[in-house]
Amino acid sequence: MHKWPVLLGFLLCAFSLVAQKPFEGRIHYSVNYLSFPDGMEGAELALPQQMTLVLNGANYRMQQASALAGDLVWIRPDGGDTLYQLFDFMDRKVFLAIPTGKGAAKYRIVPKEGELTLAGVECSRRFAQDASGEHKEIWVWERYKNPLTNDFPSLKSLPLQFDMERNGIRMRFSAERIVEEPIDQTYFTIPSNAVRIDEGILQRIMN
């Protein structure tokens, strides 16, 4: 008789994994800067302090704003292999098309014990562990699928706290507010007034 609760718990767990679905709505994250390259200390004052992730199925839109770079938007329509970066440049709205691909994961995801509540959600703990044994801690919402497959291709669930590194700057994103709501498809389209610019041409202009 005592085996039935164990079996029932196993079946419920298996069902929850099968029933995992994409998130639709907005997740607002705080951005905490953990480390900078030499000479860039204090730069966080000019960098984004908030990030908003707008999700609808396989579509995602990431929005940030900073005193240094203004509004920055990344769009990946329908889980495709191209990421579009939109920003203002020389008084015009421009965008870059960046191929992403879906290469093999450089790490494995390891479940770990632990509890953390973020934005009212009880999160599960994961380690993203590379071949050397080094790991990054990720806290996930198991109810929903992971939309950030370019950054975390082996992760199955929606990350609510995670670390990323860009240009030597290490950042931690932590969910502060979650709004589940219908999201219109127009959030994942390039504005008609935006002009495509080649990355090589942009680098020559900047130099």
pLDDT at position 204: 59
Residue 58, Cβ neighbours under 10 Å: how many? 15
8 A C-beta contact, residue 76 and residue 150: yes
Which carries the bigger pLDDT value, residue 89 or residue 182?
182
- Mean pLDDT score of the chain, rounded to an integer? 84
Can you give the pTM of this predicted structure? Answer: 0.83
112: Cα within 13 Å, side-chain hemisphere: 17
Q: Kindly tell me if the per-residue pLDDT of 38 is higher than 90.
A: no
Q: Domain segments of the chain: what residues?
A: 21-206
Q: Kindly tell me if the per-residue pLDDT of 10 is higher than 60.
A: no
Q: Kindly tell me if the per-residue pLDDT of 54 is higher than 80.
A: yes
pLDDT at position 178: 98
| The domain made up of 21-206 is a member of CATH 2.50.20.10 | yes
